[in-house]
């Protein structure tokens, strides 16, 4: 079993839809969590960190459930420009700062 697992994609949604991605992690000692966005043939870029209390940035909301060991990303009112692959990343405790990534979930927003 992979250390970080994500919903398989692709997700195909119409503009304006709300879409949610989940990500589970197996290492209960993980201490920080992130969502990265990766456009086709580009590098991953940090979308947002995920805090225990949940956090929101415009149309994007991230949640963390430590008890169930999953994080989620909600995108409201999706735009064509949201089409990308979304990677969740977990920072395990005491491993020097390396991030462990999930396989990514591809989102395609259609007109």
- Which residues of the shown chain bind other proteins in the complex (CB under 8 A)? 4, 6, 31-32, 34, 42-46, 49, 87, 91, 93-104
Q: How far is the CB of 84 from other proteins (least distance, A)?
A: 13
Tell me the longest C-alpha to C-alpha distance in the chain: 45
Q: How far is the CB of 33 from other proteins (least distance, A)?
A: 11
Of 97, 109, 101, 49, the residue nearest 73 (C-alpha): 49
Q: What is the DSSP letter of 3?
A: S
Nearer to other proteins, 40 or 67 (CB): 40
Nearer to other proteins, 17 or 91 (CB): 91
Q: How far is the CB of 111 from other proteins (least distance, A)?
A: 25
Nearer to other proteins, 12 or 93 (CB): 93
User: What is the residue-wise DSSP string for 47-94?
Assistant: EEEE-TT-EEETTEEEEEETTTTEEEEEE-S--GGG-EEEEEEEE-TT
């Amino acid at each position: 079993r992979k250390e970080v697992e994500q919903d398989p994609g692709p997700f195909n949604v119409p503009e304006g839809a709300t879409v949610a991605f989940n990500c589970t992690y197996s290492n209960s000692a993980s201490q920080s969590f992130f969502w990265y966005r990766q456009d086709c043939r580009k590098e991953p870029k940090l979308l947002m960190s995920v805090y225990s209390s949940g956090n929101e940035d415009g149309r994007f909301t991230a949640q963390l459930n430590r008890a169930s060991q999953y994080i989620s990303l909600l995108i409201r009112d999706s735009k064509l420009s949201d089409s990308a692959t979304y990677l969740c990343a977990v920072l395990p405790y005491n491993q020097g700062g390396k991030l462990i990534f999930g396989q990514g979930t591809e989102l395609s927003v259609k007109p």
